[in-house]
Chain A
Amino acid sequence: MHKIDPTRTDLIEEFDSNPGGPHSLELAVVVNLLRLIPMEERIIIVCTKRHAEWTLAKMPKARGDRMEYYEDMVFDDYYAAVRKVFRIRWQAATGVELG
């Protein structure tokens, strides 16, 4: 299994510059790994105002659970939310804090 190399911050830069893809093969693998972390650890995006506002939230644990939002992580640009999700999951996967 691939492991994310936390020193490869160039991949973060690549992601930030083109979050919608397509990505290089190396980044594509990292993106897949970050999309496969355990469900209960995932931070996700919720569209809180159509076409206007996206708020990060925890992946709900059980069906029927209320959404838990991160009220300090609200974006008016979808890809800004995507970049934040990528960074949060990268940190969670590598254990290395990003500045």
Chain B
Amino acid sequence: MKKVIGYSSAWSVMPGDMLDVMVSTYGPDRYRANLVRVICGNDVPDLDIYREEEIPAPFAGEHPGREQITIAGSYVTIPSNPLMTGLGSFTVQAWVFPTTPEKGTQGLVSNWDEVGTCGFALVLDDDGAAAMRLGDGSGGIVEATTGKPLAKRRWHLVSAAYDAEAGTICVSQDFIGPQFEVSTSASTTVSVGFTPAMASAQPLIMAAMPATHPAGRPAASQPFNGKLDRPRLVGRALSLTDSAALGWDALPHERDRSVIAAWDFSREIGSTRIMDASPNGLHGQAVNLPSRAVKGFNWSGHEQNWRCAPQEYGAIHFHDDDLYDAEWDTDFTYEVPVDLRSGVYAVHLVADDDEWYVTFYVRPKRGTATAKIAFLASTATYMAYSNIQWTWHEHFGEVAECYWTTMEPGEVFLQEHPEYGLSTYDNHSDGSGVRYASRLRPVHQVGPKTAPVWNINNDTHILGWFEEKGIAYDVITDEDLHKEGAALLAPYSAVVTGAHPEYYTTPMWDGLKTYLARGGRMAYLGGNGFIWRCAMSDALPGVIELRRAEDGIRYRDEEPGEYYMEFNGEYGGLWRRLGTSPQALCGVGTVAVGFDVSGYYVRKEASFDARAEFIFEGIGDSEVIGDFGYFAGGASGTEIDAVDFELGTPPHTLVLASSEGHSAKTMIVPDEIGLNHSAMGGDQNPKVRADMTFFETPGGGAVFSVGSIAWPGSLPHNGYDNNVSRICENVLRRFVDNTPFTMPKG
């Protein structure tokens, strides 16, 4: 059904920047492109709130289209070297922890040249057994296999030794799994019958086999699922005993001159660099973001932090559905005009009856502002969710979402094209959790006209409201905040968040906190915000890392011993478990989630405090707030937040209103409970509510929070004329007035 898709080289650009746009068609040989400014992306016909504005752009018009191929799967590549291509007798080995041994042939360590039938290939064969392949250079192949499948999720030392004198290959697998389990150790020796041709022009590939991409560049195929540790290449045929001794030896290259390469994955964790510890320096690269900082075969359990025991974190976990950069050819490059106003934009692609939006964010020139209000697009969260497929992979998906699985055309496309990778909500094909999500690939759900209405598409309810009310705004993004911190926000009187600013790096958190402490104002118009710590990397732009340590709403258990992130060594997880909390930053933090019914807000005593007068101007004393809206008919819903003074809500915070009307299926989140009990739902549990809050900061700043993802969906109700809209307008009119707020006395 999808006939055109695309992505761009960046999400955040400023005037003068160049933006590359990559497009693929499926079927049509032409497509049309034009530029639009996104005003409101919710295109549910009855609502009649969808708005986009066409902007002239040099690329507007027809373009030739073709299919661009993406190959997923992470691997390591080491450039070809005479030390590998001139091998006589040799041994290749690695510690192997297969997660899908039943999958079919998977490359382990190989420079195999399929066309030239030369080089070598240490693989898991069709049966999941360790096997070694050699060729005679003219079509003849010999493959020695142990014939016994490796045990799933257990470590084995896999070795293959070619003895040129004897003309034999010995391949072996040594099981080191739990003592109570049946050993899958096995070995076999076969005679080769020819002189192997070793002069392969292919690079050495780990966790896959060398291959060529249809576009002509080097690639990999037959990807391996699982972990590899300590791959080594030795210039002689080792006996089984010597091979085992070498596998356990941390520094074999210091003792044995025949060691050609001893790759140590514990070096340069957090980068794509793969280091050979031997003097030969056969270094390489990791491709497509395999998971590093993972437990090695020798992990003792004494240390949980990879930085404190790197020698026990010498493994890499590879997945056949890892993807960092789809690496498509550029269709056209757009130079962002110097006079283009800040905003959310999209390249609208149309082919036949299908369309796609490549969404991007135009910020003002660095260090400048063109409005008093900055809309902070939650691009870290958009990335985290990109290409989410959890609901149709997970048995409990329907009861979690309170719906019957309903797939949008874009989701059907993702189902049929797993090569576009996953979100941090998903599990890899081998069942392990996804830790990285990249924007350098086509991503569904990050743009206008997407369903369910979430992330940027929900946030455009706020943009549409700005436009309707004539409120001037700039657009900035999480990636900008991560790089520039408080300096990015300093020129603004107020920051407005999106509906769901869930994922925060430490620099983002510190930047926002500093801005508010120094007199900045924030309207947090969402829910489930400031929840998880994530990481970004200068070395790997356009991707977030996430480790869902301990508890929280997580879609898998994080792997024990792997709670520290690879990109920066920080401990992952919920901010509230890291010594601060969303409540301390914005007054409220997540308490409940539910999707079947939304609630509405009822004013509390504190809303009549003189400090809050400006917020409720024009609102009746007993007026119910937000008993309408796009999300199940109310402004308080989907994911909701409340105050918690013990967790850090500032004591002078005014709880202006609280929500009511929640259902039994809106339940307390795991973060909030130590144990399951029999009053989890919003029909009984008084903690299931959103609190609307306000507090001032000593620096003259202020924070207004609504604590509900559904809130922006109520803004457009009745032509944007309603009490949700009124309250937001009251807040922002005061927030753009630079008169400092004063702290309450007492």
Contact = CB atoms under 8 A, between A and B. Distances in A.
Interface in A24-51: 25, 28, 32, 35-36, 38-39, 42, 44-48, 50-51
A52 to B, nearest CB: 9
Contact of B412 (A21, A38, A46): A46
Interface in A52-89: 54, 57, 59-60, 63-67, 78, 82, 85-86
A36 B398 contact: yes
Given A44-B404, A44-B406, A64-B418, A35 B399 contact: yes
B26 interface: no
Contacts of B412: 46, 67
B405 A44 contact: yes
Contact of B415 (A36, A50, A63, A85): A63
Contact of B409 (A28, A44, A50, A57): A50
A46 to B, nearest CB: 5
B429 A47 contact: no
B441 interface: no
B612 to A, nearest CB: 32
Interface string B1-28: 1000000000000000000000000000
Nearest to B393: A63
Contacts of B665: 28
A45 B416 contact: no
A47 B409 contact: yes
B554 interface: no
Given A44-B405, A60-B415, A63-B418, A35 B398 contact: yes
Most buried by A among B398, B416, B429: B398
Contacts of B664: 25, 28
Interface in B270-321: 321
B184 interface: no
A48 B409 contact: yes
A39 B395 contact: yes
Contacts of A44: 392, 404-407
B44 interface: yes
A95 interface: no
B434 to A, nearest CB: 13
B399 A32 contact: yes
Given A44-B405, A45-B404, A51-B45, A22 B399 contact: no
Contacts of B44: 51
Interface string B383-417: 00000000011011011001011111100100111
With a 10 A CB-CB cut-off, give which of A36, A50, A64, A78 has the most chain B CB atoms.
Answer: A50
Contacts of B663: 22
B480 interface: no
Contact of A36 (B395, B406, B416): B395
Contacts of A36: 395-396, 398-399
A38 B664 CA distance: 24
B449 A50 contact: yes
B409 A85 contact: no
Nearest to B45: A51
A45 B401 CA distance: 15
Nearest to B664: A28
Q: Give the one of B405, B429, B449, B597 with max A CB within 10 A.
A: B405
B127 interface: no
Contact of A21 (B405, B408, B449, B597): B597
A67 B392 CA distance: 12
B15 to A, nearest CB: 34
B405 A67 contact: no
B596 interface: yes
B142 to A, nearest CB: 33
A64 B416 contact: yes
A60 B392 CA distance: 8
B404 A47 contact: no
Contacts of A28: 664-665
A59 B412 CA distance: 11
B451 interface: yes
A78 B404 CA distance: 11
Interface string B532-562: 0000000000000000000000000000000
Given A32-B399, A63-B429, A47 B406 contact: yes
B596 A45 contact: no
Contacts of A48: 1, 409
B396 to A, nearest CB: 7
A96 to B, nearest CB: 20
Given A63-B418, A64-B416, A45 B406 contact: yes
B43 interface: yes
B27 to A, nearest CB: 15
A46 B407 contact: yes
B278 to A, nearest CB: 39
Contacts of A78: 406
Contact of A35 (B404, B416, B597): B404
A25 to B, nearest CB: 8
Nearest to B320: A63
Nearest to A52: B45
19 contacts: A28-B664, A44-B406, A44-B407, A45-B404, A46-B406, A47-B408, A47-B451, A51-B44, A57-B407, A59-B392, A60-B392, A63-B415, A63-B429, A64-B415, A64-B416, A65-B416, A66-B416, A67-B412, A78-B406
Given A42-B405, A47-B406, A50-B451, 9 more contacts: A22-B663, A28-B665, A39-B395, A44-B405, A44-B407, A46-B412, A47-B407, A60-B392, A63-B415
Interface of A: 21-22, 25, 28, 32, 35-36, 38-39, 42, 44-48, 50-51, 54, 57, 59-60, 63-67, 78, 82, 85-86
The 6 closest A-B pairs by CB, nearest first: A35-B398, A44-B405, A45-B406, A63-B418, A64-B418, A46-B407
